[in-house]
Amino acid sequence: MRRGEPTQWARPLLALGGEMEKYNPHAIEPKWQRYWQETGLMKAKEEGKKYYVLEMFPYPSGDLHMGHLKNYTMGDALARFLRMQGYSVLHPMGWDAFGLPAENAALKFGLHPREWTYQNIERAKTSLNLMGILYDWDREVTTCEPDYYRWNQWFFIKMYERGLVYRAKAEVNWCPKCQTVLANEQVIDGRCWRHEDTLVEKKELEQWYLRITAYAERLLRDLDKLERWPERVKAMQRAWIGRSEGAEIDFKVKDHPGKAIRVFTTRPDTLFGATFMVLAPEHPLVTEITSPDRAEAVRAYIEATRKKSEIERQVEDREKTGVFTGAYAINPATQEAIPIYIADYVLMGYGTGAIMAVPAHDQRDFEFAKKYDLPIRLVIRPESGELAEPLTKAFEGAGVMVNSGQFDGLPSEEGKKKVIAWLEAEGIGKGTVNYRLRDWLISRQRYWGTPIPMVHCERCGVVPVPEEELPVRLPEIKDVEQIRPKGKSPLEAHPEFIETTCPKCGGPARRDPDTMDTFVDSSWYYLRYADPKNARLPFSRQQADFWMPVDQYIGGIEHAVLHLLYSRFFTKVLYDMGLVGVDEPFEGLFTQGMVLGWTDYGPVEVEGERVVLSEEARLRLELEVRELSLDTLKKMGAELKPGEDGKMHFWKPAVMSKSLGNGVMVGPFVKEQGADIARVTILFAAPPESDMVWTEEGVSGAWRFLNRVWRRFQEDRNELAEVAPDFDPDGLEAKERELWRALNAAIKKVTEDTREFHFNTAIAALMELLNALYDYRKTRPVTSVYKRALMDFLRLLAPFAPHIAEELWRIFDDASVFLAGWPEYDESALKVDTVEIVVQVNGRVRGRIQVSAEASPDEVKAAARAHKNVQRFLEGKEIVKEVYVPGKILNLVVRSQ
């Protein structure tokens, strides 16, 4: 029965009579967890061949569920595997401890954000330990500690000195829920990245920026170096950086001598077709050039634009609107006066905030021209054929230039270059590259973050805090009310913090009241792990050089253009500063799928083929309709199952989350089932990169597998003591040889699959080997090969189910299985005496023959022709071709005689 109650997966452990010990994870797991910590199994040492395994560090949110643990489980399996292979492994963990939830919780419970954070860290750590996930805790990094955030401040000042930090007044994104500004990357579809339901507002504020745009080209270009990154993450970063090549062209404004408007275009070849110009309503020149008779209309339009949300402005297929400013620009190619409009389809945030409109060759301009009856001039014709005029839509493709004076007849690609050369010669434009990427706004009007180490002095202006005075500590709070967001920085309310003296002139000055975006914290934490206790520097070059880059980074896709872009930027800056020797932080990136849980969406009534949703179910599913067909239900991946009340409910897998209440919590699960079972369930259910549904059936499968492992060893325990695992592979009898081959095949498969992150197939290979071990023991006694196979099996199992492997390893050895090395396979053992050759006639399987592995092609062909069923298909035919793939297949191509 699949039920909602928390004991759904409770199941009694194997109860067998007699002297055999039953598999009891609860009895063995805590013991080994303590043992690994005490013996320092995962202590990283700077010696030998290094491998840096890292999972994205979490925001500490307390008790963890299986959805949180997937990437840590994978990282742990990989780290243990590499450790056994003899690598010097760095596998650290830390906490992205600054941020809003701590403040919100503080306000809700009247608890200091620090206390709340540290309580959560303790609980999260407990969950990780319960799962047997091992870290080098000596390297733990917690970003809310002054020892850590002082280096955020240090980097900020260093970047300031290099011109990479600046303060600017601009229209910024404001989240009314967070009560703070956000960076561009943190606005998703016009909404706050933390609050899907909250539209971001625009505010004009003076804020701190990091000049990430200075690195746009390198951030884009170096993506090509990242061979072990998923294509889609690279695609997302490329799209975000948004490079486009074109030209900037100055258009003089008629009757405004000396005034010019610069536009950006990717199609300089269409310059002769520019019949009007459009400015973004926010463009700074708008008020200057607007003629008095148009002033009122222009003012009204600007006002209307400002009221529209970003969302409204971005809706596709919205009818173009705009107003004429009364001013004219001079097309530098044709010398024609062309009207200047303002329209909200031109955005101030891209290019120069102004465009030359070429209605014949840009669909947006075309629509605008149609609506306002502006001239449409064809300046590109297709390579072949003619365009029928009047046009019904813009021709945006490449072609040949026409109506373009001296450029007529040039192919448009070549024309672009020629027009740019002409513009440059005339001094009225130049070829440029434009990026969509904007500078990173890092000021936040919140308490729980890194104070910005800047001082505002009336006499000296903005002055950085001297290095030796770092860290600038957050002021202590006496009352949580002091951190309540009021639309400006809570730190403003702390005079003992704000009021200071100017480092330059010693006069009275004020500290900057904002804190940094927490993405600054996570942009370099992986470097701190290399040297976490350094009090002199963020990390030593030497230690960083030993461990960097991160060889395998594991995390969610949601950070594709947030954390992963910021971290690449930071690493490049640090590289330029000579602090690290690598300019890319993460050599390999793996984005894991999510964990879904079966979720009860509420009761339904079934009426024949139709399912009538209750109000509760309809609301929770966010559906408009009241009923569904059984077919639709199936397509949604949903099922009808009883809920806790015994009535029919609508169930569907959904991402595990606190709000849906569908998370399988680590603590209770491990207590009732065990950590190894949880680990195998997670790793076996689906390929690691895909989403997996956590099911009771999956748990049963893992439980049965580990139980079978346990029993195999327990049943043979006594006999195993009697034999040594040494033998001559050439002296084995048939059944032994088969087992020996199966063992070596498994070693090969598990080794390769684990290295390539195919944990599901690695575990499948272990299951196959276990089946072979059972099969062998049906008819044969405990022998040396068998013992060897059992020992190697445990070593192969250890990364995935470490506790049971460590426990059973004690049958053979007093030392840890993780110090026993990784088994190597013997290629010669994979050979078989006889092979099965598939015999095809005209590509269709007609028989299988057993031949010696050394059989010559002629022998195989003879044997194939002798095969009874094959003969049937050869009868009366002539063999015209024989294709033989040694050891695999023989295809006889025949034709009727």
Instruction: Kindly identify the residues of this chain, within the stretch 187-246, that bind RNA according to CB under 7 A.
Output: 188-189, 231-232, 235-236, 239-240, 242, 244, 246
Q: In angstroms, how far apart are the furthest CA atoms of the chain?
A: 109
The residue range among 254-262, 467-475, 492-500, 765-773 that interacts with RNA, by the rule CB under 7 A, is 765-773
Closest CA to 532 of 140, 51, 52: 140
Q: Which residue among 304, 505, 845, 862 contacts RNA (CB under 7 A)?
A: 845
What distance in Å separates the CA atoms of residue 892 and residue 624, rounded to the nearest whole number?
Answer: 61
70-104: buried (b, 16+ CB within 10 Å) or exposed (e) per residue? bbbbbbbbbbbbbbbbebbbbbbbbbbbbbbbbbb
Residue placing its CB nearer to RNA in the complex, 660 or 893: 893
The residue range among 65-73, 109-117, 398-406, 764-772 that interacts with RNA, by the rule CB under 7 A, is 764-772
Partners of 534 in beta bridges: none
What distance in Å separates the CA atoms of residue 69 and residue 57, rounded to the nearest whole number?
Answer: 12
Q: Which residue among 225, 704, 831, 895 contacts RNA (CB under 7 A)?
A: 704
Q: Which residue among 337, 562, 723, 767 contacts RNA (CB under 7 A)?
A: 767
What distance in Å separates the CA atoms of residue 623 and residue 620, rounded to the nearest whole number?
Answer: 8
Question: Shortest approach of RNA to residue 283 CB, angstroms?
Answer: 9
Question: Shortest approach of RNA to residue 794 CB, angstroms?
Answer: 18
Beta strands across the sheet bearing 834-841: 844-852, 834-841, 889-896, 877-885
Which pair of structure tokens corresponds to residue 284?
């700074």
Instruction: Kindly identify the residues of this chain, within the stretch 131-190, that bind RNA according to CB under 7 A.
Output: 188-189
Which pair of structure tokens corresponds to residue 391?
């046009």
Question: Shortest approach of RNA to residue 776 CB, angstroms?
Answer: 11
Residue placing its CB nearer to RNA in the complex, 746 or 794: 746
By CB under 7 A, residue 2 contacts RNA: no
Which pair of structure tokens corresponds to residue 689?
């990169």
434-460: buried (b, 16+ CB within 10 Å) or exposed (e) per residue? bbbbbbbbbbbbbbbbbbbbbbbbeee
**Cβ–Cβ < 8 Å for 418, 427:** no
Mask of contacts with RNA, 849-878, x by CB under 7 A? --------------------x---x-----
Residue placing its CB nearer to RNA in the complex, 482 or 695: 695
By CB under 7 A, residue 432 contacts RNA: no
Phi, psi of 549 (to 5 degrees): -80, 170
Question: Shortest approach of RNA to residue 580 CB, angstroms?
Answer: 29
Question: Shortest approach of RNA to residue 758 CB, angstroms?
Answer: 6
Question: Shortest approach of RNA to residue 596 CB, angstroms?
Answer: 11
| Cα–chain center distance at 392 | 43
By CB under 7 A, residue 774 contacts RNA: yes
What distance in Å separates the CA atoms of residue 698 and residue 135, rounded to the nearest whole number?
Answer: 27
What distance in Å separates the CA atoms of residue 403 and residue 878, rounded to the nearest whole number?
Answer: 70
Q: Which residue among 503, 768, 784, 825 contacts RNA (CB under 7 A)?
A: 768
285-313: buried (b, 16+ CB within 10 Å) or exposed (e) per residue? bbeebbeeebeeebeebbeebeeeebeee
Q: Which residue among 74, 100, 212, 280 contacts RNA (CB under 7 A)?
A: 280
Neighbours of 206 (CB within 10 A): 10
Residue placing its CB nearer to RNA in the complex, 239 or 862: 239
Question: Shortest approach of RNA to residue 851 CB, angstroms?
Answer: 12
Residue placing its CB nearer to RNA in the complex, 264 or 422: 264
Q: Which residue among 426, 833, 836, 859 contacts RNA (CB under 7 A)?
A: 836
Q: Which residue among 847, 860, 863, 864 contacts RNA (CB under 7 A)?
A: 847
Q: Which residue among 31, 225, 371, 888 contacts RNA (CB under 7 A)?
A: 888
Which pair of structure tokens corresponds to residue 571?
């690493």
Q: Which residue among 590, 705, 800, 818 contacts RNA (CB under 7 A)?
A: 705
CA angle 332, 336, 338 (to 5 degrees): 95
Instruction: Kindly identify the residues of this chain, within the stretch 652-691, that bind RNA according to CB under 7 A.
Output: 684-687, 690-691
Closest CA to 467 of 98, 161, 207: 161
Residue placing its CB nearer to RNA in the complex, 348 or 463: 348
- DSSP letter assigned to residue 349: T
By CB under 7 A, residue 35 contacts RNA: no
| Cα–chain center distance at 657 | 18
Phi, psi of 631 (to 5 degrees): -65, -50
Residue placing its CB nearer to RNA in the complex, 385 or 843: 843
Instruction: Kindly identify the residues of this chain, within the stretch 524-583, that bind RNA according to CB under 7 A.
Output: 557
- DSSP letter assigned to residue 716: H
What distance in Å separates the CA atoms of residue 241 and residue 243, rounded to the nearest whole number?
Answer: 6
Surface-to-core class of residue 686, CB atoms within 10 Å of its CB (0-12 exposed, 13-18 middle, 19+ buried): middle
Question: Shortest approach of RNA to residue 200 CB, angstroms?
Answer: 13
The residue range among 77-85, 134-142, 461-469, 882-890 that interacts with RNA, by the rule CB under 7 A, is 882-890
Instruction: Kindly identify the residues of this chain, within the stretch 297-316, that bind RNA according to CB under 7 A.
Output: 313-316
**Cβ–Cβ < 8 Å for 382, 388:** no
For RNA, how many residues bind (rule: CB under 7 A)? 85
* Residue at 749: amino acid letter: K
Q: Is 201 helix (H, G, I), strand (E, B) or coil?
A: strand
Question: Shortest approach of RNA to residue 12 CB, angstroms?
Answer: 7
By CB under 7 A, residue 761 contacts RNA: yes
According to DSSP, the β-strands at 380-381 and 191-192 are unpaired
Residue placing its CB nearer to RNA in the complex, 382 or 507: 382
Residue placing its CB nearer to RNA in the complex, 763 or 785: 763
Q: Which residue among 62, 411, 588, 701 contacts RNA (CB under 7 A)?
A: 701
Mask of contacts with RNA, 455-484, x by CB under 7 A? ------------------------------
Instruction: Kindly identify the residues of this chain, within the stretch 328-387, that bind RNA according to CB under 7 A.
Output: 344-351, 353, 355, 362, 364
By CB under 7 A, residue 760 contacts RNA: yes
Q: Which residue among 708, 717, 735, 780 contacts RNA (CB under 7 A)?
A: 708
